[in-house]
């Protein structure tokens, strides 16, 4: 039996005045494994001066991850339903 897995890698950046301040990475798996979200501060000084805007970007990225996770899991649920229907 073929078992399929879909993995998504997502990235985002918080940019202030053309400078990358923070980078976000996320990895999602359709098998229900752990969703991983990482945050890397590239410019501490700009982060400290613009933390409210950067934190908004963090929250926006997190919501993006959640939305993609919901789509991924919905696709996986549909594949399971399709498999049961053909058995």
Q: pLDDT tens digit string along 2-23?
A: 988 888 999 999 999 999 999 9
The rounded distance, in Å, linking the Cα atoms of 59 and 36 is 15
pLDDT digits (tens, 9 = 90+) for 26-45: 999 888 677 899 999 999 99
The rounded distance, in Å, linking the Cα atoms of 30 and 11 is 18
Note whether 46 and 19 are within 8 A (CB).
yes
The rounded distance, in Å, linking the Cα atoms of 84 and 87 is 5
- Residue 73 binned pLDDT confidence (cut-offs 50, 70, 90): confident
The rounded distance, in Å, linking the Cα atoms of 85 and 24 is 39
The rounded distance, in Å, linking the Cα atoms of 41 and 14 is 9
Output 47 or 72, whichever has higher pLDDT: 47
| Tokens of residue 16, six digits | 């202030």
């Amino acid at each position: 039996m073929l078992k399929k897995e879909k993995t998504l890698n997502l990235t985002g950046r918080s940019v202030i005045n053309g400078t990358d301040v923070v980078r976000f990475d996320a990895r999602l798996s359709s098998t229900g494994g752990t969703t991983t979200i990482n945050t890397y501060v590239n410019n501490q000084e700009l982060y400290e001066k613009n933390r409210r805007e950067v934190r908004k970007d963090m929250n926006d990225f997190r919501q993006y991850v959640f939305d993609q996770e919901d789509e991924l899991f919905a696709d996986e649920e549909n594949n399971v339903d399709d498999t049961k229907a053909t058995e």
